[in-house]
Amino acid sequence: MKKHNFYAGPSILSEYTINNTIDAIRNFAGMDLSLLEISHRSKQFTAVINEASALVKELLEVPEGYSVLWLGGGASLQFCMVPYNLLHNKAAYLETGVWASNAIKEARLFGEVDVVASSREANFNFVPTDYVIPADADYFHFTTNNTIYGTELRKDPDSPVPLVADMSSDIFSRPVDVSKYDLIYAGAQKNIAPAGVTLVIVKDSVLGKAPRQIPTMLNYKTHVDKESMFNTPPVLPIFSALQTLRYYKEQGGVKALELIDMEKAGMLYDAIDNSRMFLGTARADSRSIMNVCFVMAPEYKELEQEFIDFAAARNIVGIKGHRSVGGFRASLYNALPKESVKALIDAMNEFEKKH
Ligand SMILES: *Cc1c(COP(=O)(O)O)cnc(C)c1O
C-alpha cells in the first residue's frame, strides 16, 4: 500500500478495482483492444453493464419492479432530475447539509417544497429526527450520509409517502429496504468507482406521470427503456463499478461490509473520545461511520496544520476537514483497510504525547 488515503471523494478504491481497471484499459475481455476504444454496444461491454446492474440488485436485495441505471452528470444532476420526474405538486425535504440544500434549491424550480426540518443553525452537526412528513407530499427526500459534516441516518425512516434518498457517500455500507423508496441515487466516486457515473435505482411505476414535458436525456424513462444505453454511457467507471461490486459480494455483501465499517469507525471514535486533544464535531447520535469529522480542542487549535503535516510524514493523506467545518475529516469508505485507521490512531496518539 502506497498511502493511507482518507480523501472524501473521489476517494480510495480497492486494489482489486484499480488493478482490474488497469488490465481492461490495456486489454479488455481478451479482445486485444482497450476498454476505452471499443463500442459500448459490443457484447463484451453489454455483459459488463448487465452484470453490474444485476449485482446492485443482488447486494441491495432490490425488489421486482425497480430498474438500475448508470447515468452521467453526477449526483448533482439528480437534484434536478428527481423533481423533474417525480414532483407533481409538493415534495418534503430534510435539510442536513449543503448537498441537501442544493437538492432543495432545484426542487423549488418544479413545485412546492416543504423543508420538514433543518440542522442549519447547528452547522449541520446532527440529523434532525423530530419532524412530520406531510401525507400529501409526492415523496420525502433526504441525504443518508452528510459527507461534509460526518453525520448519517443509518436507517430507512418511517414515512407516509415514498422515500427518495441521496446515498452518494454511504451506499453499500448497510442493508436498505428498497421497497420504501421510489428512487435512490449515488454518485460513484465515494463507494463505487471513479467519478463520471451515478447509480440510480428507480421504481418503474412512478415514471411517466409528471405533469410536464421532460427533455429526453433528463427523463428516467428514456434510460429505463434503453437500459442506460440511450446514448454512450460512461464505460470506464461502469467497468470499475462492476469490479467493486464483485469485490463487495466476495466480502460477504452489505451486512458484512457494515460490520467492518462499524468496527473501523468505532476504533476512530473511541480514539477521539479518549483524547484530550481531539474533539468530534458531530452530535453523538448522528455520527457517520463513513466520514469522521473532528477538530482540536480550543487550547491546541493552532496545532491543526502541524498535525496534518505530522500525519503526511506517516503517509496519511486526505484528512483536512472541509472548510465549512474545519479541523479534520477522515473518510472511512469500504475500500479503506483497517490498517489505515490504525495508522491514523497511532499518529493521533503519538502527536498528543509529543505535546
Ligand atoms: C459528493 C456528494 C454529492 C455530489 O456529487 P457529484 O457527483 O459531485 O455531483 C452529492 N451528495 C452527496 C451526499 C455527496 O457526498
pLDDT band at 344 (very low <50, low <70, confident <90, very high): very high
**Would the pLDDT of 306 be above 80?**
yes
Q: Which CATH code fits 15-250?
A: 3.40.640.10
Residue nearest to atom 8 of ligand 1 (CA): 74
Q: State residue 59's pLDDT score.
A: 98
Query: Tell me: domain 4-11+253-354, CATH 3.90.320.10, correct?
Result: no
pTM above 0.75, yes or no: yes
Res 1 pLDDT > 80: no
**CATH 3.40.640.10: which residues of the chain?**
15-250
212: CB partners within 8 A, 6+ apart: 84, 110
Quote the cell numbers at residue 2. 502506497
Q: What values do phi and psi take at 46, rounded to 5? A: -55, -40
Ligand 1 geometric centre to CA of 191 (Å)? 11
Report pLDDT digits (tens) over 82-101: 999 999 999 999 999 999 99
- One-character DSSP codes across 37-72: GS-TTSHHHHHHHHHHHHHHHHHTTPPTTEEEEEES
The dihedrals phi and psi of 295, each to the nearest 5 degrees, come to -130, 175
CB 116 within 8 A of CB 127: no
Residue of 138, 156, 182, 190 with catalytic role: 190
pLDDT of residue 171: 98
pLDDT band at 2 (very low <50, low <70, confident <90, very high): confident
pLDDT of residue 229: 97
Site residues for ligand 1, CB cut-off 6 Å: 9, 74-76, 99, 143, 147, 166, 168-169, 187, 190
Catalytic, 155? Answer no
Our mutation pick for probing the ligand 1 site, out of 71, 169, 173, counting the most ligand atoms within 8 A of Cβ, is 169
What mean pLDDT, rounded, does the chain reach? 98
Rounded distance from Cα 299 to ligand 1 centre (Å) = 34
Banded model confidence at residue 355, pLDDT cuts 50, 70, 90: very high
Write out the residue limits of the CATH 3.90.1150.10 domain(s) in the chain.
4-11+253-354
Question: If you average pLDDT over residues 302-318, what whole number do you get?
Answer: 97
70: annotated active-site residue: no
Single out the catalytic residue among 166, 170, 182, 261.
Answer: 166
Average pLDDT over residues 295-306: 96
pLDDT in tens, 10-42: 999 999 999 999 999 999 999 999 999 999 999
CA-nearest residue for atom 2, ligand 1, is: 168
pLDDT-derived band at 179, boundaries 50, 70, 90: very high
User: Ligand 1 pocket: which of 78, 99, 105 to mutate (most atoms <8 Å of CB)?
Assistant: 99
Q: By percentage, how much of the chain surpasses pLDDT 90?
A: 99
Tally the C-alpha atoms within 13 A of residue 25's C-alpha that lie toward its C-beta: 9
pLDDT tens, position by position, 213-223: 999 999 999 99
